[in-house]
Chains A and B, each alone.
Chain A
Amino acid sequence: MKYLEEYRDPVVAEGLLREIRRVARSPWVIMEVCGGQTHSIVRYGIDRMLPPEIELVHGPGCPVCVTALETIDRAHAIAAQPDVIFTSFGDMLRVPGSRGDLLSLRGRGADVRVVYSPLDAVSIARENPQRRVVFLGIGFETTAPANAMALVQARRLGVRNFSMLLSHVLVPPAIASILQTRGNRVQAFLGPGHVCAVVGTREYEAIAARYGVPIVITGFEPVDLLEGILMAVRQLEAGTATVENQYARTVTREGNAIAKEILAGVFEVTDRKWRGIGAIPKSGYKIRYEYRDHDADRIFAVDEIATEEPAACISGLVLRGLKKPGDCPAFGNTCTPRSPLGATMVSAEGACAAYYQYGRSVPVEAAE
Chain B
Amino acid sequence: MCLGIPGEVTALSERDGLPYGSVRFGGVTRDVCLACQPDVVVGDFVLVHVGLAIARIDRAQAESAWRVLEQLGQTAEVTDPVSEGEGGGGS
Binding site for B on A (CB under 8 A): 6, 8, 34-37, 39-40, 43, 61-64, 89-94, 103, 113-120, 138-140, 142-143, 145-146, 149, 153, 156-157, 192, 194-195, 197-198, 219-222, 249-251, 256, 258-259, 262, 337, 347-349
Contact = CB atoms under 8 A, between A and B. Distances in A.
A347 B58 CA distance: 30
Contacts of A156: 17
A35 B2 contact: yes
B15 to A, nearest CB: 9
B2 A259 contact: no
Pairs A-B, 9 closest by C-beta atoms = A90-B89, A117-B51, A89-B91, A116-B81, A146-B52, A36-B3, A91-B91, A89-B90, A197-B55
B68 A116 contact: no
Contact of A90 (B65, B74, B88): B88
B68 A138 contact: no
Contact of A119 (B47, B51, B67): B51
22 contacts: A36-B2, A64-B91, A89-B1, A90-B83, A90-B84, A117-B90, A145-B54, A146-B50, A146-B52, A149-B35, A149-B52, A153-B16, A194-B54, A197-B54, A197-B55, A198-B55, A221-B64, A256-B36, A258-B35, A258-B36, A337-B86, A348-B73
A40 B91 contact: no
Given A34-B2, A36-B74, A89-B89, A143 B57 contact: no
A138 B17 contact: no
Nearest to B6: A250
A192 B78 CA distance: 21
Contacts of B24: none
A61 B2 CA distance: 7
A192 B2 CA distance: 8
Contacts of B84: 90, 93-94, 103, 114
Contacts of A256: 36-37, 54-55
Contacts, number: 166
Given A89-B1, A249-B61, 11 more contacts: A37-B2, A89-B91, A90-B89, A119-B33, A139-B1, A140-B1, A143-B91, A145-B54, A149-B33, A256-B54, A349-B1
B40 to A, nearest CB: 12
Given A90-B81, A146-B50, A114 B68 contact: no
Contact of A91 (B1, B3, B17): B1
Contacts of A153: 16, 18
Interface string B5-23: 0000000000011100000
Interface string B61-77: 10011011001111001
Contact of A140 (B2, B17, B68, B73): B2
Contact of B91 (A138, A222, A250): A138
A262 B80 CA distance: 28
A8 B66 CA distance: 11
Contact of B50 (A94, A116, A192): A116
A140 B4 CA distance: 12
B43 interface: no
Nearest to A357: B73
Contacts of B37: 256, 258
Given A90-B84, A250-B57, A139 B72 contact: no
A321 B1 CA distance: 20
B4 A90 contact: no
Contact of A120 (B51, B67, B89): B51
Contacts of A250: 47, 55, 57, 61
B7 to A, nearest CB: 13
B89 A94 contact: yes
B84 to A, nearest CB: 6
Given A8-B67, A90-B81, A157-B16, A63 B57 contact: no
Interface string B29-62: 0100101111000000001011110110110010
